[in-house]
Structure 1
Amino acid sequence: MRTVDELRQAAAEWLAQDPDPQTRAELRALLEAGDTAALADRFGTRLQFGTAGLRGELGAGPGRMNRVTVMRAAAGLAARLKAETARPGVVIGYDARHGSRRFALDTAAVVTGAGLRAWLLPRPLPTPVLAFAVRHLGADAGVMVTASHNPPRDNGYKVYWGDGAQILAPLDGEIAAAIDAVGRVDELPLGAEGDWTVLGDDIVEAYLRALDALPLGDAPREISIAYTPLHGVGAQVLRRAFARAGFPEPMVVAEQAEPDPDFPTVAFPNPEEPGAMDRVLALAERTGADLAIANDPDADRCAVAVPAPGGWRTLTGDEVGALLAEHVLRHTGGADRLVVTTIVSSSLLGRIAAAHGVRYAETLTGFKWIMKARTAPDDRQVFGYEEALGYSVGGDGGVPVRDKDGIGAALTVAALAAEAKRDGRTLVDLLDDQARRYGLHATGALSVRVTDRSLIGAALDRLRQAPPAALGGRAVTEVEDLARGAGGLPPTEGLRLRLSGPEGRARVVVRPSGTEPKLKCYLEVVLPPTEDVPQARARAEAALQAIRTDLRTALGLA
């Protein structure tokens, strides 16, 4: 731990190079007030660059997201790129959060000052547009300035490589080492406006053309949709995508339609969070819509709700993933097709893949892994998803975006719902069909947000050292430590427990969140195929709740 004098010295050195008057004023105020705790919070640690890039709270110091942190990251990225390419090119995108445009401009200035080419997206745009642009422009890397669905005070820095997918180890460590070697940012050579190319709307048009290859089918487009971008950047691009595909314009929640970095109508701008979809569901109910859709603020995630007896039902990410997978496989062909999901998502995708005679892979959590999955050299990935509302949908030519894409997913869900409506059916009917065919795969979650991250490690250690004999009345038959590389996967922090009982099987995965101070637990109960799906759902929900209750106790978080 740094002494008070060391903290003050570090703050003074930061002040001397910081180009941002706002964070300089923040630091001066802390120094004048003698606020040692606040200085330690900012200078006692630093944001670590990893496979998720950088993400954290805005503010001064190495423990925060700010212009110095971003310029150092850009300089490290530029150095790593120059180590393998003569004159690399980087495409840079940004959302509408506080500081995003400034961070994007700083990145462009640093990389062009280092002798690289740079393309800047024309305005705040969805993350999938940036991921698409990397391959479309033949860039060697991409940077997206976004904190996705994090709270308003956060921002982040997401790095893609030339294949259009997020970076993996060891590349993240190599970039981190290059960042560590960066000196003062006020001594970096900087490019000026005119040294980089500001792209026009043609990049958005190219992305929309790529979505033309999605398997939308030929069903009538007669479907009514209520939509919210949750104060993010998705609305304009989604409207254009729907119009291009021949769908009626979605009805948009007026008070959430425009980008607003303060996200004033939601506690957390994440459609998974309780209450986040309340306004779009109210709009859907008021207008008699067939479907409700929400994107998160950078529009890489997609949430779906449908009318059901007693009110609207929000589908889980696993339910949407299963529906989209089967839709894609019905509308594409070839035994070389590959579908991919993660170890925390439902096992149903494996059953669907087997039934359709296609290849299936399971990865660690995150699209950075999903997009790298292969079972054979000639794999053609047509679909990938994770339970956290992330989907990459493709057609016969594979996926057009090598990351989760909330716009493409929304478009395909709309096509699937329109096809079902034509046949006098609903998405719930299709889910019931899958339960009859493959067995009922019910998933749930237990998520605990903490203020002290050490509580997460303590809970995992407790579960490792004294795993329960049973959860929810089901025997724990196997405990796999994911840190040891279970199932041939790369090592990662977490545990997987397999359970058995009088009916069906169950599984629990426990892991720390990679982007938030949360312990996340993923539950699945699988019951045999049945014609009485409502009764099976009730039994499965009771089983999930019993497992959830016992798991909280086992983690010491009761």
Structure 2
Amino acid sequence: GDPEPADRAELTRALEAGDLPALRARFSGALRFGTAGLRGPLRAGPAGMNTAVVRRAAAGLAAWLRSPDPGRAAPLVVVGADARHGSERFALDSVRVLAGAGLRAALLPVPVPTPVLAFAVRQLGADAGIMVTASHNPATDNGYKVYLGAPAADPANGAQIIAPVDTMIEAAIDAVGPAASIPLSDDWTRLGDEIRSSYLEAAAALSPTSDTTDDTSVATDLRVAYTPLHGVGADTLRAVFTRAGFAPPFMVPEQARPDPDFPTVAFPNPEEPGAMDRVLALGRAVAADVVIANDPDADRCAVAVGERILTGDEIGLLLADHVLRTRPGPVATTVVSSRALATLAAAYGVTCIETLTGFK
């Protein structure tokens, strides 16, 4: 049932060679769909990321989204992809499957950072969003994240899926037949740069340079060293800085452009030891006030100040303090996070809620 000739050939070669380890790796079990969507190595078979797996995932999501009410407009799904191996192809597979299922499908210009895809779900009033990315996994992997729409005032609008939605979508995927029999259509929309432009405006508006109560010289004189770690964040971050009145960031030149092989880092996760070595060296060279690194799809951020890499708890605390200056709360923290957020919430007089981990 695999519709991709190259993947069928890969499986045939393993079978004819009697390569049992390769066959076990590809057929020992399907990739499971959870709150992180799908993620796995690029290879044929149900235990890898490939055309068949992606088409069945898109068909399952379409079946779960499809309304039984014939008078309701067909659900709209917006699709984005990063610059990893196979990402653009899997994004095209997704919109063709969604359109073939009778849904409205729209494809963002590729590549695109994950936060722009999440923003697009809100901006377009979409029912769901698909981002083809393996985030900070090794170069040999790819993946599939799903975001859901909601009423405009709902904080969950444009947020990544949570339980039990993940298990419901997984059940719908399991019910899909062979990938080769899934109908495809080219009746989908290719979006222009208007979503990214709206994202840039919205992000730039959050800057202290847009707030007349703050000293704008602090922002305009800030020296920032930055790396996207061979991912897709550079152009968007640079454009936001420009619109917000910040000086352009200094970028690690050999890591500034998308490269799906991530040649200068063993593991493209800014939290991994050594991943920020080059941007820290750049920060020293330019006397940067702040050093920033994104993961390849630009939804993970690491920060260093004065050569010290801040912990996730410290970054979260700084962001919470920034938000609580203008919003009343409540705030939420996980059972494995620092207790400092509860202390900060108490200082602001707002409620702090403790949750389990994983997009709760």
TM-score over 0.5 (shorter chain):
yes
Change (3 A) 1:143 1:304: same
Q: Show the counterpart of 2:324.
A: 329
Does 2:129 align with 1:137? no
Superposed CA offset, 1:100-152 (max 9, x none) = 11110000000000100011111211111111111110111111111100011
Matches within 5 A, 1:39-188: 39-83=23-67, 86=72, 87-162=74-149, 163-188=157-182
1:215 CA drift (Å): 5.8
- SS of corresponding position for 1:159: strand
Change (3 A) 1:84 1:266: farther
- SS of corresponding position for 1:337: coil
Q: Show the counterpart of 1:35.
A: 19
- For 2:161 and 2:320, how far apart are their aligned partners in 1? 25
**Of the candidates 304, 325, 339, which is equivalent to residue 347 of structure 1?**
339
- For 2:171 and 2:339, how far apart are their aligned partners in 1? 38
TM-score w.r.t. the length of structure 1 is 0.60
Change (3 A) 1:91 1:84: farther
**Of the candidates 304, 310, 313, which is equivalent to residue 318 of structure 1?**
313
1:213 CA drift (Å): 4.2
More strand by share: 1
TM-score w.r.t. the length of structure 2 is 0.92
Number of residue pairs matched by the alignment:
343
Unpaired runs of at least 5, structure 1? 1-16, 370-558
- For 1:224 and 1:73, how far apart are their aligned partners in 2? 44
- For 2:347 and 2:68, how far apart are their aligned partners in 1? 44
**What amino acid sits opposite 1:239 in the alignment?**
R
- For 2:244 and 2:56, how far apart are their aligned partners in 1? 42
- SS of corresponding position for 2:160: coil
1:339 CA drift (Å): 2.2
Check conservation: 2:207, 2:244, Cα contact below 8 A: no
The list of structure 1 runs, each at least 4 consecutive aligned residues, that deviate by more than 3 angstroms after superposition, is 83-86
Tell me the percent identity: 65
Matches within 5 A, 1:161-240: 161-162=148-149, 163-192=157-186, 195-214=187-206, 216=208, 217=211, 218-219=214-215, 220=217, 221=219, 222-240=221-239
Superposed CA offset, 1:232-291 (max 9, x none) = 000000001111110000011000000011100001000000100000011111111111
Q: Which of 1 and 2 has greater Rg?
A: 1
Unpaired runs of at least 5, structure 2? 150-156
Check conservation: 2:2, 2:178, Cα contact below 8 A: no
- For 1:169 and 1:284, how far apart are their aligned partners in 2? 41
Check conservation: 1:226, 1:284, Cα contact below 8 A: yes
Check conservation: 2:241, 2:247, Cα contact below 8 A: yes
Q: Greater relative contact order (Cα 8 A, min sep 6): structure 1 or 2? A: 2
- For 1:358 and 1:201, how far apart are their aligned partners in 2? 39
Q: Show the counterpart of 1:454.
A: none
- For 2:161 and 2:68, how far apart are their aligned partners in 1? 16
Superposed CA offset, 1:66-105 (max 9, x none) = 1100000000110111145641110101111111111100
CA RMSD of aligned residues (A): 1.4
Q: Show the counterpart of 2:153.
A: none
Q: Show the counterpart of 1:365.
A: 357
- SS of corresponding position for 2:45: coil
Change (3 A) 1:361 1:210: farther
1:170 CA drift (Å): 2.2
- For 1:254 and 1:25, how far apart are their aligned partners in 2? 39
Change (3 A) 1:245 1:103: same
Moved more, 313-322 or 106-115: 313-322
1:345 CA drift (Å): 1.3
Check conservation: 1:215, 1:328, Cα contact below 8 A: no
1:348 CA drift (Å): 0.3
